[in-house]
Structure 1
Amino acid sequence: MIITQELLSQTDALARQAGAAIMEIYGRDFAVEQKQDNSPLTEADAAAHHIIVNGLKALPLTAPILSEEDTAGFAGADEQGRYWLVDPLDGTKEFIKRNGEFTVNIALIEHGKPVLGVVYAPALGVGYMAAQGLGAFKYEGDKVPVAIAVVAHQEGQPWRVVGSRSHGGGELPSLLDKLGEHELVAMGSSLKLCLVAEGAADVYPRLGPTSLWDTGAAQCVVEQAGGTVVQLNGEPLCYANTQEVLNPYFLVLGRNDVNWPGLFG
């Protein structure tokens, strides 16, 4: 399937609309509930969900929608193996802390692979978007999006490692010891993957729980920027099995120049 620039722009516009609704709630008092899995939920999650779902249904490309806020309403991919994958508010904990590091994530999946992805951080006024055949881009505010690309780690320089703001992972210190000299930067939500995509970090090891909707959009940005997102067995992170929404542990690489089997062996 050929993704058009128009479809990418329409998807980005939906993310911005959802972001505006999130920021209206962000600027006032809001209640916090707990889901069955003990993760937090706010009215911003629900508001963004409705905007995105209604907007996707109005697009020329129609496909089933898997949203974090309505997993029960998803019956599976269509006959072409396509579906929309949505996290209306990724980084709800960061939203509650009011540190700005939360995003709207929208991805189009085809045969288990993200072929379009939009990541928008409304509090920061920063967005990333990418699509198969079109490349990866970053924009700030109303500025024209600019192409981004990963960079290779410079030999002799410390590894620039990005990690979770709220979920460190008990195995991370051991991995960092194996990696050698490094600088660790903490970041929330799917922005961690985007830092690798734009060349601001070399590697992002995720040794803790994530779900499909946490990573799909940003994985597309990474891959279209020339990077890779691999499981610890070396296989790409895949979105074909929607019956299992939890991702395996994974590694985001600016360039596939890390001896990751040695790191995990």
Structure 2
Amino acid sequence: MTDEDLLELAATLAERAAHAINAIRAAGFAVERKTDESPVTEADRIAEALIVEGLRAATPDIPVVAEEEVAAGLVTALAARTWLVDPLDGTREFAAGHDSFTVNIGLVQEGRAYLGAVAVPASMEIFGGIVPTGLAWKREAASRRPIRARAIPAEGATIFASRHYSDDPRLGQFLEGRKVAHIEKIGSAVKFCRLAEGVGDIYPRFGRTMEWDTAAPQAVLEAAGGRVAGFDGQPLRYGKPNFENHAFLAEGRRG
């Protein structure tokens, strides 16, 4: 498969999972707790099964690491190229009735985000990106258009902050001395996508995230001309012990 074929596979599966999540949302669902006390629902499990089955059937040579499998103790060995799947990023948002939750399917290569697809079920927006080629797009209904991250406008930066960590004092410290036009607090990988399509500028993340949370949206943002790195300036890498990320800064286009 070409990179474009792989991206289309990821986008198609993300879209199917989004429809499944919306159907479960409409029917009603229970919220359970995993061993780490994070929430999980039937939507997480059904979406993951759909995605994992599709990826393994179409690309049997590329291992798949998926959030709920890992939570259940099934950890697939990594390879030079590996799929990272978060079937429902923002389960707290989903359970609370908010709309900022996503389906994330990312491909990492040699420890770096390479390509990814992100679906936003509530609006049925699909985002895709391939980092090396700079191909980044957004699909709504039957139309698809290219997207590009923007440079910070003269009136100041639009900041995206995690709703769940919105009271973190480190956010205020980070913003000191910066010209800020607006702060929007939302959940999930939607924040990366808004940066990628040029409607925001900075997303600082201080709280815990996992590699399957970030691989796909990082690929979309970087393909659109943005950047994701630690606060030390080092690139966000993949294949870390326990799949846990350090704090990072996601940005639109510089200069």
What TM-score range do you get, normalising by the shorter chain? over 0.9
Equivalent position amino acid for 1:133 in 2: T
Q: Displacement, 1:134?
A: 5.4
Q: Is contact 1:101-1:124 (8 Å) kept? A: no
Residue type of the alignment partner of 1:76: A
Q: How big is the shift at 1:99?
A: 1.7
Task: State the TM-score, normalizing by the size of structure 1.
Answer: 0.90
Unmatched 5+ stretches in structure 2: none
TM-fit CA distance, 1:126: 0.7
What's the secondary structure of 2:169's corresponding residue?
coil
Equivalences for 1:119-134 in 2 at 5 Å? 119-131=118-130, 132-133=132-133
Displacement of 1:61 after TM fit? 5.8
> 1:203: which partner in 2?
202
Residues 1-265 of structure 1: matches in 2 within 5 Å? 3-60=2-59, 62-71=61-70, 72-78=73-79, 81-131=80-130, 132-133=132-133, 135-143=135-143, 145-155=144-154, 157-168=155-166, 169-241=168-240, 243-257=241-255
| Deviation beyond 6 Å, 4+ runs, structure 1 | none
- Deviation digits for residues 192-247 of structure 1, max 9, x if unmatched? 01111111001111111111111110000011001100101101111132x23221
61-70 vs 111-120, greater mean Cα deviation: 61-70
CA apart distance, 1:141: 2.2
Q: Percent identical across equivalent pairs?
A: 38
Deviation at 1:166, TM superposition (A): 1.9
CA distance 1:180–1:48, change in 2 (3 Å): same
Any idea what SS the aligned residue of 1:244 has? helix
Code of the residue aligned with 1:82 in structure 2: it is R
Structure 1 regions of 5+ residues with no counterpart? Answer: 258-265
What letter is aligned with 1:187?
I
The RMSD of aligned alpha carbons is 1.5
TM-score (norm 2): 0.93
The 1-side partners of 2:18 and 2:125 are apart by 11
Residue type of the partner of 1:181?
V
1:99-153 deviation line (CA, Å, top 9, x unaligned): 221110000111011111000011111110111325110111232x211111111
1:201 touches 1:254 (CA, 8 Å); kept in 2? yes
Q: Which range moves more in the overlay, 164-173 or 97-106? A: 164-173
Secondary structure in 2 aligned to 1:70? helix
Do the aligned residues in 2 keep the contact of 1:212 with 1:239 (CA within 8 Å)? yes
